[in-house]
Chain A
Amino acid sequence: ILSNVPQETPKKTKFGPLADQDRIFTNLYGRHDWRLKGALRRGDWYKTKEILDKGVDWILNEVKVSGLRGRGGAGFPTGMKWSFMNKPSDGRPKYLVVNADEGEPGTCKDREIMRHDPHKLIEGCLVAGRAMGARAAYIYIRGEFYNESSNLQVAINEAYAAGLIGRNACGSGYDFDVYVMRGAGAYICGEETALIESIEGKQGKPRLKPPFPADVGVFGCPTTVANVETVAVAPTICRRGGSWFLSFGRERNSGTKLFNISGHVNNPCTVEEEMSIPLKELIERHAGGVRGGWDNLLCVIPGGSSTPLIPRHVCDTVLMDFDALIQAQTGLGTAALIVMDKSTDVIRAIARLIEFYKHESCGQCTPCREGVDWMNKMMWRFVKGDAQSAEIDMIWEISKQIEGHTICALGDGAAWPVQGLIRHFRPLMESRIADFKPKQQAHA
């Protein structure tokens, strides 16, 4: 009877560490030549013409099979997103926009791609652009990354000179241009519609969606906005096969990812690892462990500042991928770990994050502009303890009123850290409030 059941290949249960031969970003640490010669030696631009000749459907299928999910924080399935552009042209050119406005606190992975491996990004633009039928790519890089954008522009010039992009890119008959656009200091321009507004030369204020960028984007034309890492891994996926990429990580969370580990670890670093690697193993293997030993860990922010923090008991067992972290009531985001040990004043750390969101709010919609400012003022009072216990519930309610009621996700990004703090560190907040009253009375 059981012979009717088809044989399943055993599911992978152990994730990480990644073997060097499976790593995509082989010049992550900049030890090799980042220019065209070095890139060619490391396997970039190999058989790009053949990939382009395979056509739109083949490339989109490879990306879909690979299970690649957006690496910019939202984790939207990339194959699906790029296929939204796969519609007949109505006369308007299509554009690919690469989001290199890396501003999320904790995140510094795209910087390494752009200064040490820019040719992966350029080739990715070409392959992704071909898959979408795009006419050109705009790489929007944050203004503070001057040296990184300089490396990128040099690499682009080399690619043009070698005929790899531009007219008849790689000899495939496809014309494709790549432009670098430097931003001028606004975290909100990392939001896709704000980025489009910024490219158009306006204030970076997000637009309402719908209409989505795939219908009306930059200059009114169909556009896809993709993160640097998502675009840069596309050629390698096409070369080595979508199923190779799928072999890493759990189901629906496949591939490799660049992790940034910062904060109270012994060796803060950026490292490329397999998705679904246990958080504890990631920190201990690559970042030298938590300062003072694993038992000295207080909490970790797993995916850049917009994700809620997770306390020590969750960190013991959680896997670093999209689904596992959502189950832990947080998110993978950009996979930028901010590790905090027991010496941290976690309330001050979160208050500083809310201040960051207050400064970076564009000011368009009331819940974010007023609500985040209000949360900020309250958080700094919580740092001192100069508050009432009932205000903890009040700030929770404010954060719930901001979350989901704004034009873009910055409101959510500001609300979640506060919710994470209250969810896991409420006793600390209450004790600080209780300690403050006698101190205040003593001064009076």
Chain B
Amino acid sequence: MFLNNIIQKLYFLEVARHVRSLHQTSARAGAGGLFVHRDTPANNPETPFEFTPENMKRVDAIINNYPEGHKAAATIPVLDLAQRQHGWLPISAMNKVAEILGVAPMRVYEVATFYTMFLRQPVGKYHIQICTTTPCMLCDSDSILEAIQNKLGIKVGETTADQLFTLTEVECLGACVNAPMVQINDNYYEDLKPSDIEQIINELKADRVPPPGPRSGRFSCEPAGGLTSLTEPPPGPGFGVRPDL
């Protein structure tokens, strides 16, 4: 138990960081946590995990996407399905996936530790992932991070006491023209101001999931000052088509 406490403290220390100019990099701990697995009461090979019958059908459909004899290719999608069912990935889920796909468990462990979206520790109901890479940083993601930390009272890598929110800092999420933005579970909330993210957190606390997308009034990636292209209705089929087709 004592050892486990130290390991868990080390984990949080490594992930929590200063964000402003005095930046310290965390020790190379891999994608969001220790590479090594340590058994805890909630996370050990005996932790119950079984796919629901509905999810087993999905597993079979996923395996069908790949050629005969290449069941291992389904590792990533099936692990993702296990994570969606359970909320996070205990080691027993990884063992189960290895059993279903007929691969050695180590292969599944390799995949689960390599990719950052596989969460090997429990997370809150709403996983707030804030992008702080340079395009978002230029658009002041620092103030959004500070707003979240102040509102929830937690630092990066921590979960709120009511297990509702977990805050992590992630790399570029691919929505750079809508900076700054966060991803909460599967949805992107873009074009944020600190007041926007506070509003979003309030909605989530009231158990309502706000609609994803830009908060500044625009619909997606068009220039906020008005359309500068595609102002005419799109041409119909056959427009400009070469005559010899």
Contact = CB atoms under 8 A, between A and B. Distances in A.
A complexed with B: yes
Interface of A: 17-18, 20-21, 23, 26-32, 40-44, 46-47, 50-51, 54, 93, 102-108, 111-112, 116, 142-147, 179, 181-187, 198-204, 219, 239-241, 244, 260-264, 266-273, 285-288, 305, 336, 338, 340, 344-345, 348-353, 355-356, 358-360, 362, 373, 376-377, 380, 383-384
Interface stretch (B147-155, B156-164, B174-182): B174-182
B177 A269 contact: yes
Contacts of B232: 20-21
A29 B73 contact: no
Contact of A29 (B173, B179, B187, B230): B230
A304 B23 CA distance: 23
Given A23-B229, A286-B228, A203 B234 contact: no
A267 B115 contact: no
A42 to B, nearest CB: 5
Given A182-B80, A183-B76, A352-B133, A26 B229 contact: no
Nearest to A220: B70
Nearest to B67: A219
B25 A355 contact: yes
Nearest to A198: B76
Which of B177, B178, B225, B240 counts the most chain A CB atoms within 10 A? B177
Contacts of A351: 23
B245 A181 contact: no
Given A147-B188, A184-B80, A262-B138, 11 more contacts: A23-B229, A28-B222, A46-B238, A108-B221, A199-B73, A202-B75, A240-B241, A241-B242, A268-B176, A273-B229, A340-B138
Contacts of A241: 242
A201 B21 CA distance: 39
Interface string B55-93: 000000000011100101111110110000000000000
8 contacts: A28-B230, A104-B172, A106-B172, A185-B117, A200-B70, A268-B178, A345-B21, A353-B133
Contacts of A50: 245
B229 A271 contact: yes
B48 interface: no
B228 A202 contact: no
Contact of A268 (B77, B79, B101, B177): B177
Given A23-B230, A108-B174, A262-B177, A203 B114 contact: yes
Interface of B: 21-25, 28, 31, 65-67, 70, 72-77, 79-80, 101, 103, 107, 110-111, 114-118, 132-135, 137-139, 170-179, 183, 186-188, 212, 219-225, 227-232, 234-242, 245
A305 B117 CA distance: 22
Contacts of B177: 108, 260-262, 268-270
Contact of B28 (A18, A112, A185, A373): A373
Which of B107, B171, B187, B225 counts the most chain A CB atoms within 10 A? B171
Given A43-B237, A103-B172, A269 B139 contact: no
A423 B80 CA distance: 44
Nearest to A360: B171
B86 to A, nearest CB: 15
B172 A270 contact: no
A138 to B, nearest CB: 8
